[in-house]
Structure 1
Amino acid sequence: MTITSQGEELILDKERALYLPKHQLLAISDLHLGKSAHFRQAGLQVPATIGLSDLHRLSLLIEKYNPKTLLINGDMFHHGLNTDIQIFAKWRAQYDQVRFLLVKGNHDKLTNADYESMQIEIHEPSFCLGPFCFIHDAPKNVKEELYPISGHIHPGVAIVGKAKQRLKFPCFYFGKDYAVLPAFSLFTGLYNIYPKVNERIFAVTPKNVLEV
């Protein structure tokens, strides 16, 4: 789905990603790589394929949009170094033509040397481009004249179906003061968003993105 925000065209992708055509920038939030491995280390039986599935989806997005820049808007890695992150490092090597940026989130605990070894640029607390300012937990530390785009809360919205069943989906939120991206990882919960007047919610369904 294509929308206009702050005078610029934005593409909301059903794979929980945002694309800015003017800047050739693909943005996602809350990738949480390493979360499944971290849980397995704690003795919880979590499938090892979760991280691989998310990376496969990200590969398809890179092939689809051919971005110059991939921006991860916080919580790229869930914890410290583990096997999932080693897999990511090998995966990242396929895309040396793409600039990788990370706006640090509360789960991003690796050392700067670890990020540099994977050719990931670090930005704290935000990365600003055009009328937008990407920051993990909006609206902190953002210049007033810019429109913050955040993540962190894993936004979701409930939709009532024809049979009065309630279905819950990840969503994009665009409010007066800031926007929130859906969590990219499929291994996350959802925080219900209840839109107010003049706020826009776009549900991410298995087939498409639709405004609700």
Structure 2
Amino acid sequence: MTAIQVGGQPLTLLPERAAFLADHRTLLIADAHIGKAVSFRRWGVPVPQGTTAETLGALDRLVHRTGASRIVFLGDFLHSARSRAVSTMDAVRRWRESQPQLALTLVRGNHDRRAGDPPSAWRFEIVDEPLLLDGVALCHHPKPMPGRYVLAGHLHPCVGIGGRARDHLRLPCFHFGPQVGVLPAFGSFTGMHPIEWGEGDRVFAIADDEIAEVARR
């Protein structure tokens, strides 16, 4: 785990590609994209099985390890309307029933508007961005906001490590600029996009169970 300060708040970066606002006992999860694999399979694309179970299992472990009382999803909880397969919806319902004490909030992202809101039985608080929490604004889209530090998702950031092409690795990362911080995509079946660094930005790469700050080249 790595601790930094954003918007006057301590923020713990977690190698599971999530972040924790300890003062609020709140986990921040960006881009879960539940049901993305089943959406692809419905188009006839062969993709891995079990990605929803993997994502929900990771959530369980994070809640247990951090003692979180709330999860805020920073957009794109469900991937698409095609994600609402019976097996996917049943898996999320069972996960929710196993965590009845958790407060769940979804800050709508672009995929949520196409996929639709989670069923009311899942007891989500559903809001449009921004969700203001002391000195930070919790959003899906990484756009600056006067007077607040924005924490967002949407971009699925990664950073290149290594030199020559065959030794080059792309690792998911946290990317913090002067006004906006972007979390890596949490879902187990999501793509990644290289970041564009600005002067003074801080970037933290994730490799297995470790987080390391990366120097700007």
TM-score by length of 2: 0.90
Residue of structure 2 in register with 1:199 after alignment: 201
Q: 1:93: how far off?
A: 1.0
Task: Report which stretch shifted further, 79-88 or 154-163.
Answer: 154-163
Structure 1: stretches of 5+ with no match in the other structure: none
| Partner of residue 181 from structure 2, selected from 162, 179, 182 | 179
Residue of structure 2 in register with 1:107 after alignment: 111
Q: Equivalent residue of 1:194, what SS?
A: coil
Deviations 1:31-72 (A, max 9, x none): 000111111111122222111111111110011012111011
Task: Report which stretch shifted further, 195-204 or 69-78.
Answer: 195-204
In structure 1, give the amino acid aligned to 2:198.
K
State the alpha-carbon separation in 2 of the partners of residues 53 and 87 from structure 1: 11
State the alpha-carbon separation in 2 of the partners of residues 70 and 160 from structure 1: 34
State the alpha-carbon separation in 2 of the partners of residues 198 and 132 from structure 1: 19
Contact 1:115 1:121 in 2 (8 A): no
Runs of 4+ in 1 over 4 A off after TM superposition: 161-164
TM-score by length of 1: 0.93
Residue of structure 2 in register with 1:135 after alignment: 139
Residue of structure 2 in register with 1:28 after alignment: 29
Q: 1:192: how far off?
A: 0.5
Q: How does 1:68-107 map to 2 (within 5 A)?
A: 68-80=69-81, 81-82=84-85, 83-107=87-111
State the alpha-carbon separation in 1 of the partners of residues 5 and 149 from structure 2: 13
Deviations 1:65-120 (A, max 9, x none): 121110110000001221313211111111111100000111113445x4322111
Q: 1:181: how far off?
A: 0.5
Contact 1:103 1:134 in 2 (8 A): yes
Q: Equivalent residue of 1:62, what SS?
A: helix
Q: How many residues align?
A: 209
Q: In the superposition, relative to structure 1, how do residues 150 and 163 fare at CA in structure 2: closer, same or farther (>3 Å)?
A: closer
State the alpha-carbon separation in 2 of the partners of residues 210 and 92 from structure 1: 33
Residue of structure 1 in register with 2:168 after alignment: 166
Q: 1:164: how far off?
A: 7.9
Q: CA RMSD in A?
A: 1.8
Q: Equivalent residue of 1:107, what SS?
A: helix
In structure 1, give the amino acid aligned to 2:142.
A
Q: 1:146: how far off?
A: 1.0
State the alpha-carbon separation in 1 of the partners of residues 89 and 78 from structure 2: 7
State the alpha-carbon separation in 2 of the partners of residues 26 and 147 from structure 1: 17
Contact 2:173 2:204 in 1 (8 A): yes
Residue of structure 2 in register with 1:65 after alignment: 66
Q: Equivalent residue of 1:88, what SS?
A: helix
State the alpha-carbon separation in 2 of the partners of residues 158 and 146 from structure 1: 29
Residue of structure 1 in register with 2:13 after alignment: 12
Contact 2:79 2:115 in 1 (8 A): no
Q: 1:161: how far off?
A: 6.3
Residue identity (%): 33
| Partner of residue 210 from structure 1, selected from 190, 212, 217 | 212
Q: Equivalent residue of 1:64, what SS?
A: helix
State the alpha-carbon separation in 1 of the partners of residues 49 and 17 from structure 2: 21
Structure 2: stretches of 5+ with no match in the other structure: none
Contact 1:33 1:85 in 2 (8 A): no
In structure 2, give the amino acid aligned to 1:26.
L
Quick check: 1:116 aligned with 2:120? yes
State the alpha-carbon separation in 1 of the partners of residues 68 and 77 from structure 2: 18
